[in-house]
């Protein structure tokens, strides 16, 4: 990865409040930490204001169906702010630990997949700003409130990109380890390979511990995104609160699709890392040992891989791979079926009235 791209990504993550500015002088570290503290204060104030605020329907009531659906949308937005505040707090507390992790996973070459994710991130941020400006063109005073909401949403979704870059660096080091073992014409130092593998396994556990909780909450918020899209459909189709237009459809797609793309890319990258560790184990089993001592080292290395596998999990609940993504997809599909049944009941009750 080029130096300018690395600096741009570091600045972007610091702007989103996902990491603390630990590099540079003491003044820069102090300014970076102060910026994170300000974000936490702002997020805490908005969450506190949400629970103190009393939402009302268009007719002033607080018990209508439209009120509950609108309040659900507000609740998901507050969920994003809460997760954002949690990530900022973790960036402050785990600053030194994150620094050591970055030192063990230095920048590597940029793959086409990373470039696609960077382009997607730029498009999402540009689309968010344009849509925010277009929505608030008639009410300029609401621009700051809308910007606060989309800021937390984009910052939380950028967490996927932050972890994806680290997983890509881990994948590169596993690839180097595999190439060192399969290189022809060279004597394999199994002791060195075992030490490097143990280091990568330890780095993988640190990566899971640092990012596991936030990824778990992000996956939960993905279900909230689907709930918002269902609310938009319900309000347009049945309650007729929002006029049906392409703008409403694009907003609903923007809520769900980018998050699903990020989750799919991260799960695929994690499964690729795990697959290379399994390939390493398979190569060792198929590798002939000419001497009994070499065969013993190979068997010990295979046993080490089996006892200390490389896997990226989420708080020990489930592993990040395509199988987990499929389970999440079927869970969302089941929730959508339940929602459509609920919508059909509401439609029948309105017809009877």
What the block records as the tokens of 276 is 């290379």
Instruction: Report the alpha-carbon distance of residue 113 to residue 119 in Å, rounded.
Output: 10
Give CA–CA dist 262/247, Å, rounded: 23
Per-residue pLDDT of the chain in tens (353 residues, 90 and over written 9):
666 777 788 888 888 888 876 555 677 777 778 888 888 888 888 888 877 765 444 444 444 555 555 566 677 778 888 888 888 888 888 888 888 888 888 887 777 777 888 887 888 778 777 777 776 777 776 777 777 777 887 888 888 888 888 999 899 998 888 888 877 666 778 888 899 999 999 999 999 988 888 888 887 777 777 766 666 666 655 555 555 455 555 666 666 777 778 888 888 888 988 888 888 888 888 776 667 888 888 888 889 988 888 888 888 888 888 888 788 777 777 777 776 676 666 656 655 55
DSSP alpha helix (H) spans, 53-185: 65-93, 95-104, 112-135, 143-182
**Strand boundaries in the chain, DSSP class E:** 313-314, 318-319
Is the dihedral angle over the CA atoms 52, 53, 54, 55 positive or is it negative?
Answer: negative
Nearest to 85 by CA among 21, 39, 148: 39
Q: CA-to-CA distance for 97 and 94, rounded, in angstroms?
A: 5
The closest alpha carbon to 201, from 183, 217, 177, belongs to: 177
Please give the Cα distance from 46 to 308 (Å, whole number): 44
| Helical (H) or strand (E) element with 262 | helix 246-286
φ/ψ (deg, to 5) at 319: -95, 150
Compute the radius of gyration of the chain from its Cα atoms: 24
């Amino acid at each position: 990865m080029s130096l300018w791209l690395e600096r741009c990504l570091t600045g972007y993550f610091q702007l989103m409040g996902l990491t603390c500015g630990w590099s540079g002088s003491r003044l820069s570290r102090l300014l970076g930490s102060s910026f994170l503290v300000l974000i936490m204060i702002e997020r805490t104030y908005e969450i506190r204001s949400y629970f103190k605020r009393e939402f009302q329907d268009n007719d002033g009531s607080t018990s209508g169906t439209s009120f509950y659906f609108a309040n659900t949308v507000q609740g998901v937005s507050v969920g994003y702010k809460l997760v954002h505040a949690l990530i900022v707090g973790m960036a402050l507390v785990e600053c030194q630990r994150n620094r050591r992790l970055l030192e063990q996973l230095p920048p590597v070459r940029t793959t086409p997949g990373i470039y696609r994710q960077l382009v997607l991130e730029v498009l999402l941020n540009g689309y968010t700003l344009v849509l925010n400006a277009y929505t608030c063109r008639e009410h300029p005073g609401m621009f700051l409130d809308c910007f606060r909401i989309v800021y937390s949403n984009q910052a939380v979704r950028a967490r996927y990109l932050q972890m994806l870059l680290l997983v890509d660096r881990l994948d590169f080091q596993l690839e180097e380890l595999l190439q060192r073992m399969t290189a022809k014409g060279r004597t394999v130092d199994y002791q060195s390979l075992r030490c490097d593998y143990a280091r990568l396994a330890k780095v993988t556990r640190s990566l899971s511990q640092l990012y596991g909780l936030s990824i778990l909450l992000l996956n939960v918020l993905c279900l909230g995104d689907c709930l918002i899209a269902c609310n938009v459909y319900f309000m347009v189709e049945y309650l007729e609160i929002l006029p049906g237009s392409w703008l409403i459809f694009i907003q609903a797609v923007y809520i769900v699709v980018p998050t699903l793309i990020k989750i799919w890319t991260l799960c695929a990258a994690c499964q690729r890392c795990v697959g290379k560790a399994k390939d390493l184990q398979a190569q060792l089993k198929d590798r002939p040992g000419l001497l009994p001592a070499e065969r013993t080292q190979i068997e010990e290395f295979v046993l080490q891989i089996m006892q200390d596998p490389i896997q990226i999990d989420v708080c020990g609940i489930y592993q990040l791979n395509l199988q987990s993504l499929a389970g999440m997809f079927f869970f969302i599909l089941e929730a959508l079926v339940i929602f459509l049944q609920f919508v059909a009941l509401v439609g029948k009750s309105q017809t009877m009235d």
